[in-house]
Amino acid sequence: MQEYASLLMFGSVCLLLALGYPVAFTLGGTALWTAGIGIVLGWFDVQLLGAMPSRLFGIMSNTTLTAVPLFILMGIIMQRSRLADALLESLSASFGRLPGGLGLAVLLVGALLAASTGIVGATVVTLGLISLPTMLRHGYRPSLACGTICATGTLGQIVPPSIVLILLGDILASSYQQAQLSQGNFTPDTVSVGELFTGALIPGAMLVGLYALFILLTALLRPAAMPRLANRGAAPSARQLTAAIAPPLVLILAVLGSIIIGVATPTEAAGVGAIGAALLAAAKGELGLRRISQVSMETMQVTSMVFAILIGATLFSLVFRGLGGDALIQHMFAQLPGGAMSATLAVMLVIFLLGFILDFIEICFVVVPVVAPVLLGMGIDPVWLGIVMAVNLQTSFLTPPFGFALFYLRGVAPSEVSTADIYRGVVPFILIQLLLLSILFIWPDLATWLPDALYKN
């Protein structure tokens, strides 16, 4: 009976979060209430709560998580420094002669912005503000313009360096060790954030390429929906184009490259990225004392939210396991026909549906610690699992009627753009996402080959 109490606790958290209650307090409060009831009924050992201080100290001393506020700082500086405006202007002028050139320019700017910020909301809102009016003014069909912006804005889920991958990397690392220890392996292998970043490179590039192919084909087959730029003016010179693209691109490559080749930890690379972003903003005159104050305050707010949720999730997972919820999940997965793959598909469906009502941070801290140890114990590769989860979350954020990216764009879209336009526009990109997920299930080496080649040989 106590195992089913853990499922009731999980369901209660999802319900309360859907009703809009604060995530961190919902997780911690529900866990404490359930633990209290369990103690009274004899289902929960009160001594298990004594492990909470050591878990909190583990969070405080976790060097991987130190990268989170630094990457958030880097992303907010890049967002506030208006680098995206200059990029879009230069690329639009360069691609103006191509069919769908403006859409391709938005895609490339969004990919760079996603890699810089790693935050879906920030990318969608920024692209919506600077790109959507321009696309509509040049005759783009509203649905295609909105779909391009929403899909491009969610690339921050999979294109490294991504905050989603950092959080997933930390959770999957502990889950992987837990799964191996439960199997009697007392010298467990590890999985790092760098491996997840490396594993995301090929799927991320494939996704950007599939988006670009769709935009190009649509522009060729339906030129009225994505017309060439009529008043494109003179194309920028190679020097002007390089000056617009090179700074953010070099910064991203320096951060990502230093992690992948092993010369810097994610935290060290994030520090370099934050300093580099500050220097770029200062060079553009976008980093005065007032802007520094705004950026610092926003970074502190986002970071506080992430770590408050992490503390609440730590207490939640402690009580969940104390009630035997992990054993119940393992038993349920073992009963599914098809073994590990059918269990993975079931988890993907649950994560996809929860993506309608929960943010990626909540899903990372609530769902993944519950299911990941069981899946990894069944032989699922941790890098592949992390990449598939990230792509799956990205898909759910695009799916009507509850996708978060749709809400973000609706908030900044002009009144002449209807909600139906946004919903229609994302459908082709959702199909592309599902195609990529299918490809990753059929050929998992697309996510695991490069990390294995770099880190295990």
Whose CA is closest to 108, among 119, 98, 95? 95
- In-domain check, residue 31: no
Q: What is the pLDDT of residues 65-96, one digit of tens each?
A: 787 788 778 777 876 777 667 777 777 777 76
- In-domain check, residue 22: no
Cα R_g (the chain), whole angstroms: 22
In the predicted model, what is the mean pLDDT of the chain? 81
* pLDDT (average), residues 333-350: 80
Our CA angle for 82, 85, 89, nearest 5°, is 155
- In-domain check, residue 122: yes
Per-position DSSP letters for 380-448, written without gaps between them: --HHHHHHHHHHHHHHHHHSTTT-HHHHHHHHHS-TTS-HHHHHHHHHHHHHHHHHHHHHHHH-THHHH
- In-domain check, residue 81: yes
In 282-348, where do the E strands start and end? none
Alpha-carbon distance of 444 to 436, in angstroms, equals 11
Q: What is the pLDDT of residues 150-192, one digit of tens each?
A: 998 888 788 887 778 888 888 888 888 887 877 777 677 778 8
Sequence-separated (6 or more) residues with CB below 8 Å from residue 403: 150, 355, 356, 396, 397, 426
Q: Are 291 and 278 in contact (CB under 8 A)?
A: no
Q: Is 2 helix (H, G, I), strand (E, B) or coil?
A: helix
Sequence-separated (6 or more) residues with CB below 8 Å from residue 9: 30, 31, 34, 316, 319, 320, 323, 325
* pLDDT (average), residues 273-297: 83
Q: Are 367 and 354 in contact (CB under 8 A)?
A: yes
Per-position DSSP letters for 166-208, written without gaps between them: HHHHHHHHHHHHHHHHHTT-SS-----HHHHHHHHHHHHHHHH
Alpha-carbon distance of 155 to 120, in angstroms, equals 8
Q: Are 117 and 75 in contact (CB under 8 A)?
A: yes
User: Which residue range is the domain that position 324 belongs to?
Assistant: 48-455
Confidence of residue 235 (pLDDT cuts 50, 70, 90): low
Sequence-separated (6 or more) residues with CB below 8 Å from residue 289: none
Q: What is the pLDDT of residues 33-67, one digit of tens each?
A: 988 888 888 888 888 888 888 878 877 877 777 87
- In-domain check, residue 41: no
Alpha-carbon distance of 380 to 198, in angstroms, equals 18
Tell me how many domains the chain contains: 1
Alpha-carbon distance of 222 to 380, in angstroms, equals 43
Q: For the purposes of burial, counting CB atoms within 10 Å of the CB of 439, is it exposed (0-12), middle (13-18) or buried (19 or more)? A: middle
Alpha-carbon distance of 316 to 17, in angstroms, equals 14
Confidence of residue 358 (pLDDT cuts 50, 70, 90): low
Alpha-carbon distance of 171 to 179, in angstroms, equals 12
Most confident of 145-149, 247-251, 283-287: 145-149
- In-domain check, residue 55: yes
